[in-house]
Amino acid sequence: MNEFLIFYAPFLVIIAGIALSFFVVLKDDVVTKNEVKESEKTDV
């Protein structure tokens, strides 16, 4: 167990963080598209 925590756990945490960040960015895409549409309306 100690060997797992030292050698493998940090890599699993990094991989999970990268995967989570991609998931969050994809969810944020809807908000940014709405903001772009709103800014296009105000520019006219």
Instruction: Read off the pLDDT of residues 1-44 as tens digits, 9 standing for 90 and up.
Output: 888 889 999 999 999 999 999 888 887 766 666 666 666 665 55
Q: Tokens 């772009």 — which residue?
A: 36
Rg of the chain in Å (alpha carbons): 19
pLDDT at position 19 is: 95
What's the CA gap between 39 and 44, in Å, rounded?
A: 9
pLDDT at position 34 is: 65
Residue 35 has a CB neighbour count (10 Å cut-off) of: 10
The dihedral formed by the CA atoms of 25, 30, 35 and 37, expressed in degrees to the nearest 10: 140
